[in-house]
Amino acid sequence: MSTLTVSKHFVEASLSGAERLGLDSRTLLQEAGISPDLLRIDMARVSSDQFSRLMQVIWNRTGDEFMGMGPRKARTGTFATMCALVINCQTLEEVYEQAFRFSRLFEPMVSMELEVNEDNARLVARIEGEIHDPSYFLRESILVIWHRLGSWLIGQPVELEKAEFSYPRPEHGDEYRHIFHCPLAFDSDCTALTFSKRFLSAPVIRDKPEMRQFLKTSPADLLSRPDESNTWTGRIRGLIGRDFSKPMPDFDWIAQELHTSPQTLRRRLKQENTSFQEIKDLLRRDMAIYYLSHQELPINDIAERVGFTEPSTFHRAFKKWTGVTPGAWREGERGDLAE
């Protein structure tokens, strides 16, 4: 069970290329198990499972892994072929070099190029030709997929030191904090991810059977389910857990469990663009959304499950998180949202 959620923005952005190709977005959403009515809520979110299914639906219907946004079509199977090549690499550095050589076989090229200097390494986006990416979804996806594929191959998240974007901060820029967990820079001269070059020597620990299993749901899962296991945010989420019927652990206890001081932990969370309070709020929000999708659960019971003793307090908190009441959210999921 995944309780992570994805912003409505990314749902609509992912559909822009398919719509440009003449496909009906409502049909695609329904096929992925997403109510089009839910997206009428300004701050709507969908589950990571739904978003993963939507990615697969779009790729299948367009026959294009660039989803109609690239300078050319990337036929279904392109990503899997690249993965079949890089699984034979010995280190992460070889992975990124081999992946770039593979991507250069296609013209115009859409890829990430590895640059290494004395202090760190960078993956720099190389996109030739005209793209159709008004919401930046294609560019975001390329960064996320290359970063998380590399992390999966070496069995540990590649900790980012900086994420740069060659475009102005978009309206949904706040979401980037939870995607990249590092300092962000917009209006840069390139779109790139910077990390310590020590990761380049990390060995590839996956084998071909694992890759075959991985490809059954990827790259959709790479986009919808970030691996936060080696981030401070992810560790805290793990310690808090999902049972909010018990008192939530306090910050000092969390710091002690992570073998660090409260001051250091606050600094680490600031570097990851978040805070302890935000982590708790987003966990509760995502759990509430998950439970609301189970239509048989009374809303008052859901309030208790996510740690609210008073239903009215839960209603206020949920409206602050999403802009609507729990009841209106559930109506949107059912397709019964009033005009």
Q: Name the domain count of the chain.
A: 2
Amino acid at 36: P
Do 77 and 161 fall into the same domain?
Answer: yes
Does residue 191 or residue 244 have the better pLDDT? 191
3-state DSSP assignment of residue 5: strand
Predicted confidence (pLDDT) at residue 218 exceeds the cutoff of 70 = yes
The yes-or-no verdict on residue 1 having pLDDT over 70 is no
Question: Are residues 206 and 246 located together in one domain of the fold?
Answer: no
Same domain, 253 and 220: no
Please check whether residues 237 and 185 belong to one and the same domain.
no
- The rounded distance, in Å, linking the Cα atoms of 15 and 67 is 8
Bridge partner list, 193: 123, 163
Query: Do 82 and 211 reside in the same domain of the chain?
Result: yes
Mean pLDDT calculated for residue range 278-295? 90
130 and 212 in a single domain? The answer is: yes
Exposed/middle/buried for residue 34 (C-beta within 10 Å: 0-12, 13-18, 19+):
buried
Q: Do 264 and 157 share a structural domain?
A: no
Q: Write down the pTM of the prediction.
A: 0.85
What is the DSSP code (8-state) at residue 169? P
Domain boundary among 224, 259, 294: 224
Query: Residues 127, 274: one domain?
Result: no
What digits encode the pLDDT tens for the residues 220-276?
887 876 655 567 888 898 888 877 877 888 999 999 999 999 999 999 898 888 899
Sheet holding 110-116, edge to edge: 110-116, 120-127, 192-196, 160-164, 184-185
Residue 40 counted as domain residue? no
Does one domain contain both 163 and 278? no
Stretch (H or E) spanning 127? strand 120-127
132: pLDDT strictly greater than 50? yes
- The mean pLDDT value for 123-145 works out to 96
159/301 same-domain check = no
Poorest-pLDDT segment among 2-6, 10-14, 203-207: 2-6
How many helices (DSSP H) and strands (DSSP E) are in the chain? 16, 7
Domain span at residue 135? Answer: 63-224
Q: Is 196 in the same domain as 149?
A: yes
Same domain, 188 and 252: no
State the pairing for strand pair 45-47/5-7.
antiparallel
